[in-house]
Amino acid sequence: MEEEGSSGADNIVTEFATYEDFLDSQITSLDLYYLEDEELARQLVELGYRGSGEVLKREEFEARKQAAEASRLSKRISYLKMALSSSGKDLKNTFLRALGQREDGNRSGKMTSIIFIRDKNSRNQEISGYIDFAHRLKTEDFEPYFAGKKRLLPRPSDLSFYNWETQTSTSNPTPNYQVIAENASGLLFKNKRDRKILNVDPKAATPGDNSNRSPIDTDQYIQVVIYDHITRRKT
């Protein structure tokens, strides 16, 4: 019976954000009609005189709420250790460390990073392009990249791709960004969640609202720049 009571209390702290919300759930419209005082009705529920469900003291509610939050955080940390491709890896260069710092944010949706890479492909042809990091993380296994077994390079299927030798040029929308190619300001990317414009022109004073530009100093590529856009969720 004690285990059932404990389980019931745990369900209560999960269901209700505050102790007052829990008390209000126990008050009937008839209680309010006769008492004409919501605060008095809450006090009677807390004392066990009114209410149709389990009696739970404020101290016990708060303690269980904190325990539930600690458990949630612990599970998230355990999940991230398993889910993050960069977790536990010896990130040997500045580029991989920069990606590792952004992996959680891009996986969770808190940010959407665009990676500009300019380098040579396996045929020694110079290529460049813009990669939607969050989209690539969802569609590709990044463990070989973080382990140093593969090199991240732009592809014709990425947001933007250009082969300087063959002059092949492609652009593609992703779940996170729309490509605006025909623009006087040059190449622009529109975030599909908050509709903010990200300007990748290095001469621009700023890449845009909630965005920043980070050139990465690395010997692994000719040039790398990461544009981070912090997503503002609608409330």
Predicted pLDDT at 145: 94
Average pLDDT score, the chain = 82
Q: Give me the residue label for tokens 């101290």.
A: 59
pLDDT digits (tens, 9 = 90+) for 109-127: 999 999 999 999 999 999 9
pLDDT at 82 exceeding the cut of 60:
no
pLDDT at 11 exceeding the cut of 60:
yes
pLDDT digits (tens, 9 = 90+) for 153-187: 999 999 999 999 999 999 999 999 999 987 766 89
Torsion of CA 150, 103, 134, 69, to 10 degrees: 150
What is the distance, to the nearest Å, from the Cα of residue 11 to the centroid of all Cα atoms in its chain?
27
C-alpha–C-alpha distance, residues 95 and 148, integer Å: 11
User: pTM for this structure?
Assistant: 0.65
What is the distance, to the nearest Å, from the Cα of residue 51 to the centroid of all Cα atoms in its chain?
40
Amino acid identity of residue 36, one-letter, is E
Predicted pLDDT at 2: 43
C-alpha–C-alpha distance, residues 99 and 211, integer Å: 16
Enter the tokens of residue 207: 């890449």
For the purposes of burial, counting CB atoms within 10 Å of the CB of 123, is it exposed (0-12), middle (13-18) or buried (19 or more)? exposed
Closest CA to 127 of 118, 135, 136, 138: 118
Mean pLDDT of 59-81: 70
